[in-house]
A and B are shown apart, each in its own frame.
Chain A
Amino acid sequence: MSEHNDKDILVRIRGLRIEGQSGDHWTEIVHGVDLDLHKGEVLGLIGESGAGKSTIGLAAMGFARDGCRITGGEILFDGTDLAKAGEDEKRKIWGARIAYVAQSAAAAFNPAHRLIDQFTEAPVQHGLSSRAQSEEEAKALFARLQLPDPDGIGLRYPHQVSGGQLQRAMTAMAMSCKPDLIIFDEPTTALDVTTQIEVLAAIRDAVEAFDTAAIYITHDLAVVAQMADRIMVLRHGNLVEEGETRAMLAAPKEDYTRDLLSVRSFRRPEHPIPAGEAPLLKVDNVTAAYGDVPVLHGVSVDIHRKRTVAIVGESGSGKSTLARVITGLLPAKSGAVSYDGEEMPLSYKQRGKDQLRRMQMIYQMPDTALNPRQRIRDVIGRPVSFYLGLTGKQLEDRVRELLTMIELDPDDYIDRLTTELSGGQKQRICIARALAAEPQLIICDEVTSALDQLVAEDILKLLQRLQDDLGLSYMFITHDLATVRAIADEVVVMYQGKVVEHGPKTEMFKPPHHDYTDLLLSSVPEMDPDWLDKLLADRAEQAKQGRVLKAADH
């Protein structure tokens, strides 16, 4: 950093070292990172999971999570070294001068208190304002963050507002003491892409209006491009590259940054629709409900052989429910599911072994999809012996073959426990387990959304190769349109339990669209730092013409 503006430096971190506890011993997870943050500046920390970005972000307020400890370096916040400061001293600063916005607002709010009570707690506690004064400020801030009904929303409990609103209320709460620094820890990661836009816009507007400095932590380079003045790319607890946002995006210096930038560039050529061929899976006018709550209203989907159909929609649109109906976990109330021309019993309990075998499923969270007490050998071997009756040497050979197919070394992995793998490896094992049954159709339920982007891309490429080699059909449930662009042949857009639009991919990405499809498509962040501004301007323009594009839970 240049010398002349040393005066307006708010946070200066030098040689920060942090250790994390694994089992009984401590290992270093952040290896001497330097960081400078100027007053009123927004700094983006970006990296994959395990890069140490959240740990560094929290360390900027002198805080170390349970199982972490700061072992070296200095953290100067406005001249005070927080690394050495006592608890009392830090407590005076926290909340009042440094605030924190967590990834999951739903988990960070106390469900037993009204929003306004939680908002006013910090200013009153720190003696900055009276309760009544703070309530007035709350209303102004709620309005600033474009929350509906700013006067009344404070009286609600956290469960009475939507996820996107809660995240903005959390931001308002962080601003309640007019802090000098706010740390945003993946504030939009848990939100739908359509909701994310409004939260991003609100956060950026508020940060600019109060001239607050911010550290914005995320794994999504496209998001940070909209928010940050300057970006630090982190990997394995080290700084990879640092620079002004525009300069870095235009000309990244390091290979790793380039990889992150080029993520989502993977494209697969679209297979043409086979004329006159009967679909492999036919979902016909299916209705389903959880108890008395209807979730699917007359949904029809066809999946042809060797093709990938992407089911797109935000959470609550019924796309995962559709998968449950097809697999028979949630028997449909009406309608039919036929496979290869044969109508399937609606409940999986009534389906035969072979009917179950031909349709396999891969789950969103590889952590919960694998039994933590089983070894890879058993996880993959069980469907092989269960469906195909292989035993002994044949079984072992088949398991090894499957491991080779998913690009994991059999000798190294076959005897590992499922907990001894990384997220991407776990997802590969889930793929192998599905393949072991030798299916024709695999239902992929958000299989890449729990993974880092680079890892996710590898998984998509693997799925692609397997489809070409084995002639598989995929039903690909996702909310991520970049994934759809990458691998889909056909796209089905779901909204509130109905199919609102469907067609081949090339057609789907061309306007005109159903309003919801348009909202969904335009909400995917792009690397262009001006993207958010353009989008908001564009939407304002459209609104003037009477076409309002807004997320349902705005």
Chain B
Amino acid sequence: MDATLRLLRSAPPTALFGLFIIFAYSFIAIFAPVLTPYGETEIVGAEFEPWGEGFVLGTDSLGRDMLTRLIYGARNTIGIAFLTTALAFLLGSVTGFLAATISGWVDQLLSRIVDVLMAIPALIFGLLVLTIVGTSITNMVLVIAVLESTRVFRLARAVAMGIVVMDYVEAARLRGEGLWWIMTREVLPNALPPLVAEFGLRFCFVFLFISALSFLGLGIQPPTADWGSMVRDNATLITFGDITPLMPAAAIALLTVAVNFVVDWFLHKASGLKE
């Protein structure tokens, strides 16, 4: 506890700001039903009502309360992005560690598969696959996780490559330890700092990916509230000088910036860089 406090006190203001934003978002996401005046998909008024009493941020194209949708959007978008990133990391690190630890043809095979996947632009590939298999949250999570795991694979493999040549890994091999032990006990703990930092960064990309897919109509499907599709649905308002559609976009931008601040700080700590 003391250590955590000391750590926080040594953090630069940008990182503290980032942490604050992340905690605030998480709080909002978790307590969404308590914080919102209306239901997520409840139609409570006329279409496109302006800001004012009753509807702090007005209503959307179907007459649902914008503020409510915005808060629920945090829950859906962040939750799904977190799940997807976690899945991508699980897949990417396990394969990356495998490639580095076994090396030889396993490494060759996995690396070439990843090369092929990385050669295709992720968004186009995602759109294509989702059109074929059909749009559902499960499909989207799986597709994005696989696409993002290629980047994680590259990092995990590179980091693990530096670790598996260490004498302590050699000692474990000579002891007769199995692959799983070497990967989880010798490699993973030492590869963790860069992977955690990458997690924050990847989370941003996944988040943007989902928002982009939703904006294009292939991501989270209505009536579930999510920031990407909220921008699309209400985009016409901008032509009337109403900034409401920019609110979900700003929410996305703010979270991305906040996560990056924290990741930057963490990277500095992990790599031991000064200044």
Contact = CB atoms under 8 A, between A and B. Distances in A.
Nearest to B192: A373
Nearest to B189: A373
A386 B176 contact: yes
A368 B162 CA distance: 11
B174 A368 contact: no
B10 interface: yes
Interface residues on A, range: 20 to 34
Contacts of A329: 170, 173-174
A67 B274 contact: yes
Nearest to B165: A368
Interface string B144-174: 0000000000000000000000111011011
B171 A348 contact: no
A339 B170 CA distance: 21
> Which of A353, A365, A383 is the most central at the interface, judged by chain B CB atoms within 10 Å of its CB?
A383
B264 interface: no
Given A356-B176, A386-B177, A372 B171 contact: no
Nearest to A352: B176
B175 A370 contact: no
Given A24-B10, A66-B274, A368-B166, A327 B174 contact: yes
A207 B90 CA distance: 61
Interface residues on B, range: 10 to 19
Contacts of A386: 175-177
Contacts of B173: 329, 348
Given A24-B10, A329-B174, A373 B190 contact: yes
B190 A371 contact: yes
A369 B168 contact: yes
Contacts, number: 48
B158 to A, nearest CB: 18
A371 B174 contact: no
B190 A372 contact: yes
Interface in A22-54: 24
Interface string A376-387: 000000110011
Given A66-B274, A67-B274, A368 B176 contact: no
Interface string A326-343: 011100000000000000
B212 to A, nearest CB: 38
A383 B171 CA distance: 10
B233 interface: no
B270 to A, nearest CB: 13
A372 B272 CA distance: 15
Contacts of B10: 24
A328 B175 CA distance: 12
B176 A353 contact: yes
A22 to B, nearest CB: 12
B171 A361 contact: yes
A363 B176 contact: no
B49 to A, nearest CB: 54
Given A351-B176, A371-B190, A386-B175, 19 more contacts: A327-B174, A329-B173, A329-B174, A348-B173, A356-B176, A361-B171, A361-B174, A368-B167, A368-B168, A369-B168, A371-B166, A371-B189, A373-B190, A374-B189, A382-B175, A383-B175, A386-B177, A387-B175, A433-B171
Interface of B: 10, 166-168, 170-171, 173-177, 185-186, 189-190, 274
6 contacts: A363-B167, A365-B167, A369-B166, A369-B167, A371-B186, A386-B175
